[in-house]
Structure 1
Amino acid sequence: MRKLTIQIFAAIALLINANTGNACTNYLVTKGASVDGSTMITYAADSHYLFGELYFKPAAVYPAGTLMKIYEWDTGKFLGEIPQALQTYSVVGNMNEYQVAIGETTYGGREELQDSTGLIDYGSLMYIALQRSKSAREAIKVMAELVEKYGYYSSGESFSVADKNEVWIFEMIGKGTDIKVDKKTKKAYNANRGAVWVAIRIPDGYVSGHANHARITTFPLENMKTSISSKNLDKIFEPDVEVVYAHDVIGFARQKGYFTGKDEEFSFSDVYAPLDFGAARFCEIRVWSFFKAVNKDMWNYFDYAKGHDLKNRMPLYIKPERKLSVRDMMNFMRDHLEGTELDMSKDPGAGPHGLPYRWRPLTWKYEGKSYFNERATATQQTGFSFVAQMRSWLPDAVGGIFWFSVDDAASTVYFPVYCSVTSVPEAYAEGKGDMLTYCDDCAFWVFNKVSNFAYLRYDLMIQDIKRVQDELENRFISQTAVVDQTALKLLETNKEDAVRFLTDYTVNTGNYVVARWEKLFQFLLMKFMDGNVKQEDGKGGLKYNQYDYCPAPVKNPQYPDWWKKNVIDATGDKLAVPEGAASH
């Protein structure tokens, strides 16, 4: 048993090291699985180093010969330069003006396959593709061609790539570094430049997800109809094509000795990112938690998600038992494994106030034994998260809504950003602050003030947070139809007026959210200061006593009995009041 525990801990440690920078979660919804025919993808960018802000790149035209500098998204490291496209499209956050949206999760995979000479990291890959693509299929083509030509710098990555009609999952890993010297030029080059990858369209009416582990296993091989290899990449635009893969995805695995079976038995995930306990318990469980919320049959995979039955592999996509809304997707991003035995708010680690978080490290030791904390979808270290909603029945300028938030998804607010905007709310704009630079009116810091204060007495404070959260998000969702109709009316006569209207609405809404959240922080600070709980006056404020002089009598909620027992067990009679003695 001890040997097994050590092996499990080693597997967990490898997984954690591969995913230190970004441990993220994506959920994917096709048109036929949504209540209104939207396609949707969600993304939580979880990193202890990522400052949450709303990126914006306006459309531009560049002279021939212009070079684009590439910086690694995670660290800011300069990687090199590549030719700039002559025309780029406007991008806000992770959605462009044509309703193309991309998210990601890092799975690491085989460490030896990271290419230290590559020019394109996974972050640059996403944002360059958004600037150059009018559809999900074009984005996949752009991404595949970029890594083929310039090399892929990052470790294994899963991407969600969606437009107003389709949703794809696209998994990639580099080919390592094999330095050779050209006999003619005498210059060194990487003979393994590029990447191996597979992209699969999620069937209409289905949902999928990925969370830091490669999920594509076997897939149909090339038949020039529904499945093509990268040798025929131009055929990706043919509507019957549902699977695209690197032409050497199997051959390279054979060359490296990773795979020796029949081609049709080849599994991308099993070969390039072998499944282990940690991959299931920390990663796949987040996908499972989404799946089980929309299809009760997914409880059959609970043991798999817990890392106990790895042979019972969860499907890549499933059919939900009901249609899903934007509101549903927001709530799925707030999951703490509630409704399961793994609910982090229910064990003693949650403390007396039911905190569903555990501070890092994720694994820990006690008296020579190894243990771990659960990793749920909602987590404290989220930089930003979004629900990207693409609507095919509307013009692109109106159809794409990028529901954006910063910080912990459970205690944040998603507000609507229309994909055609020409500016973003000042409170969310790039450059206002960073992880080491505080600013009073930065969305990231305002939301962190609320969440980090709430972690002190979570069971009580989260109720007030959710009340305001629901108030705002429900209002924004209910306003969508009116905003859409107003924009459509303006669009009939002048597109610039429509875009200006949507930009003003987005900017004003985002700035209002931050101002409202600052007011919430002030309210929470006054209400819960020093462990007391002040009474509310029923008008959104706090209640004075009958003389309007000081607070009405405050409440002092009791600690739970299990906590009292633990204190008594640990201290014996030290804190006991002697019989007959007065107590206060």
Structure 2
Amino acid sequence: MVSRWVAEPTVPYPAEKSKPCCGRVLVCLVVRLLGVTLQPWFYHAADYSLAFVPSGPAPIHLSGMWATSLLVALAARHTTACTTLIVGKDASVDGSVMATHSDDGESNPDARVVYVPAMDHAPGATRPIYYDTEDFPRFVGDRGVEAYLQKNNPGFNASVPIGHIPQVEHTFGYFEATYGILNEHQVGIGESTCSSVFGAQARGHGGHALFSVDSLSRIALERSKSAREAVQLMGDLAVAEGFYGAGSFEGTGESLMVIDPREGFIFHVLPDHSGKSAVWAAQRVGDSQVGVVANMFTIRHLLPNRTTRGQPDFLFSDSVHEIAQRSGWWRPSDGPLDFTRVYSDGEYAHKFYSGRRLWGAYRLLAPDVPMPSDYSDLRPSPVYPATVSTRRKLSPLDLIAVHRDMYSASGVTKLRGAWERSIALYRTSQTHARGWLPPTIGGVAWYGPHAAHGTCFLPLHIGAQAVPAPHADADPRSVSRRSAYWAHKFVLNLARARYSDMMGVVRAVQRRLEAAAWERVRADSPAAAAASLAATSDAEAEVILAEWWALPDELMLRFADGWASNGPAMGYVDAWLKRVGWEEGPPEPPRDPALPRCCQDTSGGAASFAMSRRRAMRSCKR
């Protein structure tokens, strides 16, 4: 067990009805003691957490737990902190259903995207289930993917199953990264880890649960032709064989956006009280609606009688009401069960960790719907709905813009306190299902390795049945000039040296390449063949790779040493100079009054500061 220092939350939550709790997890912000230099503009600076999960087989009751966000993770299991969006078909610019996912991982991510081919299986075959570490490599063995083979992962042992389930006769082809992304029938998935009131351990790791959301998402894409079918399948498997959160105590629950060309669902799942089964619920997203999940459940009242086109809008496990009632958290006389109030453990890390991202995304997706940027406690109070109607017609580029958002011009600052996190973090994928095209053409996954604000998104057609080589190369242990992941990581880290100036150059390249890709996707022909789709993706990937590896030289040439392309010095902004006390000295050297002086100013105050600033920029030539 890792020893803990206590760090009180900066914003206490209001008192709420008690739930079973194994005691607060004690953590501390020990960055100063560790001698770590903190930089609030790091895209991942507030996305690491200490975590402790008991190793025994007993279920873990987590309500009331909290943790302070840390820069360094000291636990064996990691938490990913992801933001997901979903868009109904009537809210999109072209009638497609869309879902997104930002995989906000940590120091050892597996950023590879691969294509898992369709397969036939012999009668009586079983499907192995593996323990999901969410580190590199995510899997070592033979699943029909060249990148996963033992020979291509030297130094790593083959993955060992923790259990098996009966295999089906045929499984579909699909894209996957850490989680399943999109299959050949245009069923797409986006993931966000959530807190929950129960926790469980995996089989072979001190517990009884077989499935994490990683495995559930892959099996859903292997076997499902619709979003509704995928939701029901994942829920049934989790109930039958048990569910565990692949994250720490903060991430014992999970949420998925699940789409097909006709509709989309928000799916929530968590372990049950026994650690051997699961509780789950799903809500259909209205055709003209959008939804956001940001590491906290959002589904509120379960309304079993509400339907769309004769199909229920809410799906849920048989246990969802029974466990809540037995635990004393809900009674039938209370009315419809509020899933988030009952089963969520609220925001983790700190207040605003989830809610501010909900507000930030909705302000862009549905600007005509007023929502507060501040609140008290999201769990008991439905400040932000699971879905809202929007008048906007959204494209994939609009959703990409949301994932790049840092609350610019919103009045929200991330530079004070615990460096409140924004939406823009790490790598992002987006699924784009278009029902008016054949599935192989209509299904598109827009994939951007590394951070959304620093990456260039590449559209990958599921019909290509392949992934361009640069996007399948992402070994975090060594820099590769053939890796799109390393190209984007290299540029963004370099751009931090002069972020506001250098990122202008990066954004210009992003806009140019992504706009061209969007126009190409909009013109897709139903008759396009798999070979031509693969060739197009390969060509676009090579263009992105070449342009991104050219950017470091351009940025160095244009901005090295604080100068702009051999032009004037860029200097520092007034606010920063004042904060560091530039005008307070050291004083100028003594001067002979008989000699002329340039830039002389004796009025003091603002004029003297302006003169100091000019000196700082070396604009005074002597």
Contact 1:283 / 1:375 at 8 angstroms: preserved in 2? no
Cα distance, 1:85 vs structure 2: 2.5
Alignment-derived partner of residue 294 in structure 2: 211
**Cα deviation 1:157-188 (Å, max 9, x = unaligned):** 111000001010011111144xxxxxxxxxxx
Pairing 1:200–2:200 present:
no
For 2:498 and 2:588, locate their aligned partners in 1 and report how far apart those are by CA, in whole Å: 27
Contact 1:404 / 1:414 at 8 angstroms: preserved in 2? yes
For 1:336 and 1:509, locate their aligned partners in 2 and report how far apart those are by CA, in whole Å: 28
Alignment-derived partner of residue 567 in structure 1: 580
SS at match of 2:102: strand
Find the partner of 1:30 among 63, 85, 88: 88
Alignment-derived partner of residue 189 in structure 1: none
Cα distance, 1:302 vs structure 2: 1.9
Pairing 1:457–2:457 present:
no
Alignment-derived partner of residue 226 in structure 1: 307
**Cα deviation 1:126-172 (Å, max 9, x = unaligned):** 11111111110111122112212221121211110000010100111
For 2:357 and 2:115, locate their aligned partners in 1 and report how far apart those are by CA, in whole Å: 29
Contact 1:213 / 1:283 at 8 angstroms: preserved in 2? yes
Change (3 A) 1:564 1:125: same
Q: What is the one-letter code of the residue matched to 2:109? A: L
Pairing 1:264–2:335 present:
yes
Provide TM-score, normalisation by structure 2.
0.74
Pairing 1:104–2:164 present:
no
Alignment-derived partner of residue 67 in structure 2: 14
Q: Which stretch of structure 1 is more off in the superposition, 5-14 or 256-265?
A: 5-14
Pairing 1:318–2:381 present:
no
Alignment-derived partner of residue 404 in structure 1: 447
For 1:324 and 1:35, locate their aligned partners in 2 and report how far apart those are by CA, in whole Å: 5
**Cα deviation 1:324-380 (Å, max 9, x = unaligned):** 112111111111011222144xx5x6xxxxxxxxxxxxxxxxxxxxx421111002x
Alignment-derived partner of residue 270 in structure 2: 173
Alignment-derived partner of residue 385 in structure 1: 428
Alignment-derived partner of residue 542 in structure 2: 511
Alignment-derived partner of residue 81 in structure 1: 164
For 1:308 and 1:254, locate their aligned partners in 2 and report how far apart those are by CA, in whole Å: 22
**Cα deviation 1:220-275 (Å, max 9, x = unaligned):** 13x5x739xxxxxxxxxx85221111011011122334434636242111111143
Pairing 1:477–2:518 present:
yes
Cα distance, 1:453 vs structure 2: 0.5
Q: What is the one-letter code of the residue matched to 1:135? A: S
- Structure 2, gaps ≥5 residues long: 1-6, 14-25, 28-63, 139-158, 246-251, 598-614, 616-621
Alignment-derived partner of residue 587 in structure 2: 576
Change (3 A) 1:438 1:205: same
Find the partner of 1:303 among 374, 381, 384: 374
- Structure 1, gaps ≥5 residues long: 178-191, 228-237, 350-370, 491-497, 535-552
Cα distance, 1:80 vs structure 2: 2.9
Q: What is the one-letter code of the residue matched to 2:588? A: V
SS at match of 1:372: coil
For 2:68 and 2:325, locate their aligned partners in 1 and report how far apart those are by CA, in whole Å: 24
For 1:294 and 1:424, locate their aligned partners in 2 and report how far apart those are by CA, in whole Å: 30
Cα distance, 1:278 vs structure 2: 5.8
Cα distance, 1:214 vs structure 2: 0.4
Q: What is the one-letter code of the residue matched to 2:307? A: T
Contact 2:256 / 2:266 at 8 angstroms: preserved in 1? yes
SS at match of 1:436: coil
For 2:382 and 2:343, locate their aligned partners in 1 and report how far apart those are by CA, in whole Å: 19
The count of corresponding residues between Structure 1 and Structure 2 is: 497
SS at match of 1:557: coil
SS at match of 1:281: coil
Q: What is the one-letter code of the residue matched to 1:219? A: L
Pairing 1:127–2:209 present:
no
Change (3 A) 1:310 1:337: farther
Cα distance, 1:307 vs structure 2: 5.8
SS at match of 2:581: helix
Alignment-derived partner of residue 46 in structure 2: none
Find the partner of 2:488 among 447, 451, 463: 447
Q: What is the one-letter code of the residue matched to 1:524? A: L
For 1:22 and 1:58, locate their aligned partners in 2 and report how far apart those are by CA, in whole Å: 27
Alignment-derived partner of residue 376 in structure 1: 422
SS at match of 2:286: coil
Pairing 1:522–2:553 present:
yes
Pairing 1:328–2:398 present:
yes
Cα distance, 1:88 vs structure 2: 0.7
Pairing 1:501–2:532 present:
yes
Contact 2:91 / 2:391 at 8 angstroms: preserved in 1? no
For 2:294 and 2:214, locate their aligned partners in 1 and report how far apart those are by CA, in whole Å: 16
Cα distance, 1:397 vs structure 2: 1.2
Change (3 A) 1:92 1:276: closer
Q: What is the one-letter code of the residue matched to 2:98? A: M
For 1:215 and 1:308, locate their aligned partners in 2 and report how far apart those are by CA, in whole Å: 9
Change (3 A) 1:240 1:279: farther
Pairing 1:437–2:478 present:
yes
Alignment-derived partner of residue 489 in structure 1: 527
Change (3 A) 1:246 1:171: same
For 1:212 and 1:287, locate their aligned partners in 2 and report how far apart those are by CA, in whole Å: 10
For 2:208 and 2:225, locate their aligned partners in 1 and report how far apart those are by CA, in whole Å: 29
SS at match of 1:14: coil
For 1:309 and 1:165, locate their aligned partners in 2 and report how far apart those are by CA, in whole Å: 31
Q: What is the one-letter code of the residue matched to 2:87? A: V
**Cα deviation 1:52-94 (Å, max 9, x = unaligned):** 1212101011112333332315245753333333211110230
For 2:302 and 2:9, locate their aligned partners in 1 and report how far apart those are by CA, in whole Å: 33
SS at match of 1:462: helix
Cα distance, 1:42 vs structure 2: 1.0
For 1:524 and 1:515, locate their aligned partners in 2 and report how far apart those are by CA, in whole Å: 15
Cα distance, 1:528 vs structure 2: 2.2
Contact 1:41 / 1:388 at 8 angstroms: preserved in 2? yes
Contact 2:200 / 2:209 at 8 angstroms: preserved in 1? no
Cα distance, 1:309 vs structure 2: 11
Contact 1:397 / 1:419 at 8 angstroms: preserved in 2? yes
Q: CA RMSD in A?
A: 2.9
Change (3 A) 1:198 1:437: same
SS at match of 1:402: strand
For 2:488 and 2:536, locate their aligned partners in 1 and report how far apart those are by CA, in whole Å: 21
Contact 1:73 / 1:123 at 8 angstroms: preserved in 2? no
Pairing 1:148–2:239 present:
yes
Alignment-derived partner of residue 162 in structure 1: 259
Change (3 A) 1:196 1:307: closer
For 2:530 and 2:122, locate their aligned partners in 1 and report how far apart those are by CA, in whole Å: 27
For 1:501 and 1:309, locate their aligned partners in 2 and report how far apart those are by CA, in whole Å: 49
Q: Which stretch of structure 1 is more off in the superposition, 167-176 or 252-261?
A: 252-261
Contact 2:188 / 2:260 at 8 angstroms: preserved in 1? yes
Q: What is the one-letter code of the residue matched to 1:458? A: Y
Alignment-derived partner of residue 282 in structure 1: 353
Find the partner of 2:105 among 47, 53, 58: 47
Cα distance, 1:532 vs structure 2: 2.7
Q: What is the one-letter code of the residue matched to 1:392? A: G
For 1:333 and 1:38, locate their aligned partners in 2 and report how far apart those are by CA, in whole Å: 19
SS at match of 1:144: helix
Change (3 A) 1:267 1:15: farther
Cα distance, 1:5 vs structure 2: 3.9
**Cα deviation 1:362-410 (Å, max 9, x = unaligned):** xxxxxxxxx421111002xx1x212211111111111111111111101
Pairing 1:428–2:471 present:
yes
Pairing 1:65–2:118 present:
no
SS at match of 1:301: coil
For 1:3 and 1:473, locate their aligned partners in 2 and report how far apart those are by CA, in whole Å: 44
Find the partner of 1:243 among 314, 317, 322: 314
Q: What is the one-letter code of the residue matched to 2:67? A: L
Contact 1:333 / 1:410 at 8 angstroms: preserved in 2? yes
